Amino acid sequence: MPDRVLITTADLEQAVPLNAALERAGFETAMVTSFDDAGGALRGPRREPDCLLVTGALHEPATARLLALARERSVSTLGLVESTEPDGRALANRLGLTAFLEKPADPALVVLTIRHLVDRRRLQERTGIVGEAAAIQEVLVKIEQMAPVSSTVLVEGESGTGKELVARAIHDLSPRRGKPFVAVNCAALPETLLESELFGHEKGAFTGAAERRLGRFELADGGTIFLDEVGEMAPATQVKLLRVLEDRSFFRVGGTSPIKVDVRVVAATNRSLKDGVQAGSFRDDLFYRLNVLSIYLPPLRERRSDIPILVRRFIVEFAKAHDRKFRGITPEAMQILVDADWPGNVRQLRNLIESMVVLAPEGEIRASDIPRDIRERGWGTGARSLPVRLPGGAMRDVAGQELEFILRSLVELKLQVEELRRRIDERPARVVEAIEVSPPPALGVIETEPALVPPPDTVVYRPGMSMAEVERAAIEVALRNTQGNRRKAAEVLGIGERTLYRKLKEYAIA
C-alpha cells in the first residue's frame, strides 16, 4: 500500500503544489480544509496517515491540539514555518513537530523530508524502538548506518533501556538477517559454565560432559551473537573472546582443533567498560576490539517526552493481548508517569502498564491505580510496583544473587545489632568503676564520659538506614574481618567475586 500523507490547507498556495508533488512521488494524499476534518481523519476508520503536513497557522490553538493528537497516534509531523518567524526551531520544539521547513518550501525537499520521516516510522515499527526524542532518533540513525557492515558494536545503557532490541534491529536490517541471532547473558552464567556455553565442549572434557556440545558461537555461524552484560565476563574468558574477535577461531573446551566461524558480535553493558579497564577488571585490548562502533541508549528519565508515546503504545498492545476493552489513561495518571524516576527504565514502565491494563477496575488507568512508590517518584521498598509475575528462572541471574545477599546481610545485621546493644547495656557499670578509681583531672581539663565505640568487626545499624547503606556496611565489615581479602569476603557474604567487585566500585570502597 502507498504511504499516506494528510495535508492541511491553512496555506492553500503551498498545499496545492505540495499535494501534486507528493502524488507524483507515489504517496497517497488527502487534503483537509479544517482542523476538525484533520482530527477526524486521524481518528477515523481508515488507516492512519503515515505523516501529517501542516502548511500554516502554527500559532493557532487548534494546531496544537491536532499535533498532540498526531503524537498520540505516533504519526510523524512536518510543519511549514514562516521565514519571518524569530526562532523556527523553538516553535517546532514547543509544538512537538517531528521536523519543520521554512516557507516557501521547495516541493522536492518536502517530498524528500516526508520520505525520510515515513522510513524512520517504518523502522520504529520494525525494531520496536519507539520515541521522538532526539537521543532515540540518533540511535535509529546509527542502527541504519551500522546494520549493513560486519563491524563489532558495543551498546551501552542502563538495565531496561532496550539494548537487546538494538542488537536485534542491527541483525534484522543487516545482510545476515536470514542467519541465526543468538543471545547470551554473560552475567547469568557462572564462570565455569560460560566458557562451555560460548565455545562448546568435547565429550569427556569435564565431569558430566557425556557428549559433544556446540557453543553459541558455532550456533551463530553466519549470523549475529549478542553478548549481554559483557562487563561481567571473567578475565580468562575475556582472553578467549579476544582471540575470537581477532582470528574468528576458537577451541572447544577439551578440544585440540581450531574452529573457524563467521559471526558478527554485538556486545552490551550497563556499566562503563572504561572504568573497568582503569580498575583492572576488564582488558583494555578487548575493550578496543568491542568498541569499534558504539551506541548509547539514554535512560527513560532523560527522554520524558517519550513516556506518553510508550504508555499509549503499551496500553494498545496489552489490551489486545489480554482481549480487554480499555479506554486509555487519565491526564492526571499520565502526568504521574511522566514525572516518575523509572530506575528500571522502559522495561519497568512496560511491566507496570501490563499490570494496570489487567487490574484497572474501570478499564482506564487512573491516578489511584498507580502504585504509591511510583506516585512518590521513587523505588520504594514498601509498595509493590510490578504486580505481574516474573518468569520462574528470573531469580537465577545476578539480580537474584544480590537480593539473596541483601536478605542474608539483614539477618546477620540483626544478630550483630543485638550483640552491640548487649555490650552497650553492660558498659555503663564498667565506666563508673573506672571513673571512681582514676585520679582527679588536672585543673582546666574537662573530662568527658568515655565514648562507647563498637568493636571493629561490628556493623553499626541506625534506624532509617537505606538498603544501600546496610549493604555497604555489611561489605565493609566482611572486608575488615578478612583483612581485605576479597575472595574470602565474597565467601563470607555468599556472593561471587565479580558481584563483590562491582559493589566495591558502586560504593567507592577502597
Closest to 69 in 3D by CA, of 347, 247, 312: 312
Burial class (CB in 10 A: 0-12, 13-18, 19+), 322: exposed
DSSP H/E element including 329: strand 328-329
| CATH superfamily for domain 136-296 | P-loop containing nucleotide triphosphate hydrolases (3.40.50.300)
pLDDT value at 393 more than 70: no
Q: Could you tell me the pLDDT band of residue 35, with boundaries at 50, 70 and 90?
A: low
Between 39-53, 173-187, 340-354, 454-468, the lowest mean confidence (pLDDT) is in: 454-468
pLDDT value at 434 more than 80: no
Alpha-carbon distance of 269 to 254, in angstroms, equals 29
Q: What is the reported pLDDT for 454?
A: 42
Give the mean model confidence (pLDDT) for residues 41-47: 62
Q: What is the reported pLDDT for 41?
A: 65
Backbone dihedral angles phi then psi of residue 294, each to the nearest 5 degrees: -135, 150
pLDDT value at 410 more than 60: no
pLDDT value at 116 more than 70: yes
Alpha-helical segments (H) within 178-295: 191-199, 216-219, 235-247, 273-279, 284-290
The tens digit of pLDDT for each residue in 259-310 reads 999 999 999 999 889 999 998 899 999 999 999 999 999 999 999 988 988 9
Alpha-carbon distance of 387 to 464, in angstroms, equals 26
The tens digit of pLDDT for each residue in 172-207 reads 999 999 999 999 999 888 877 888 889 888 887 777
pLDDT value at 169 more than 70: yes
For 202, the grid coordinates are 568435547
Closest to 50 in 3D by CA, of 134, 151, 122, 149: 122
Higher-scoring residue by pLDDT: 57, 450? 57
Q: Which fold has domain 300-387?
A: Helicase, Ruva Protein; domain 3 (1.10.8)
3-state secondary structure (DSSP) of residue 232: helix
Average pLDDT of the chain, as a whole number: 80
For 62, the grid coordinates are 487548534
Dihedral Cα 408, 412, 413, 416, nearest 10 deg: 180
Q: Could you tell me the pLDDT band of residue 380, with boundaries at 50, 70 and 90?
A: very low
Q: What is the reported pLDDT for 316?
A: 85
DSSP labels for 238-252? Answer: HHHHHHHHHHSEE--
Residues 6+ apart with CB under 8 A from 158: 270, 297, 299, 345
Q: What is the reported pLDDT for 202?
A: 84
Q: Could you tell me the pLDDT band of residue 440, with boundaries at 50, 70 and 90?
A: very low
Q: Could you tell me the pLDDT band of residue 61, with boundaries at 50, 70 and 90?
A: confident
Work out the percent of the chain whose per-residue pLDDT is above 90.
Answer: 33
Closest to 15 in 3D by CA, of 63, 56, 67, 57: 56
Higher-scoring residue by pLDDT: 342, 206? 342
Burial code of 161-175, b = ≥16 C-beta within 10 A, e = fewer? bbbbbbbbbbbebbe
Dihedral Cα 266, 165, 201, 207, nearest 10 deg: 130
Between 32-46, 114-128, 134-148, 382-396, the lowest mean confidence (pLDDT) is in: 382-396
Is the pTM above the cut of 0.75? no
Domain limits of the chain? 4-127, 136-296, 300-387, 397-426+455-506
Q: Is the dihedral of CA 62, 65, 69, 75 positive or negative?
A: positive
Q: Which of 41-45, 349-353, 389-393 ranks highest by mean pLDDT? A: 349-353
Higher-scoring residue by pLDDT: 438, 70? 70
Closest to 78 in 3D by CA, of 61, 59, 64, 96: 96
Architecture, CATH, for domain 4-127: 3-Layer(aba) Sandwich (3.40)
Give the mean model confidence (pLDDT) for residues 315-322: 88
pLDDT value at 480 more than 90: no
The tens digit of pLDDT for each residue in 224-260 reads 999 999 999 988 889 989 989 998 888 888 888 889 9
Give the mean model confidence (pLDDT) for residues 337-361: 90
Strands lying side by side in the sheet with 51-54: 28-32, 4-8, 51-54, 76-81, 99-102
Q: What is the reported pLDDT for 7?
A: 92
C-alpha distance across the termini of the chain, in Å:
62
Q: What is the reported pLDDT for 446?
A: 38
Residues 6+ apart with CB under 8 A from 198: 184, 215, 216, 217, 237, 240, 241
3-state secondary structure (DSSP) of residue 405: helix
Tell me if the bond preceding 387 is cis, omega within 30° of 0.
no
Work out the percent of the chain whose per-residue pLDDT is above 70.
Answer: 79
Residues 6+ apart with CB under 8 A from 434: 450
Q: What is the reported pLDDT for 463?
A: 57
CA atoms within 13 Å, Cβ hemisphere of 478: 27
Matching fold, domains 4-127 and 136-296 = yes
pLDDT value at 387 more than 60: no
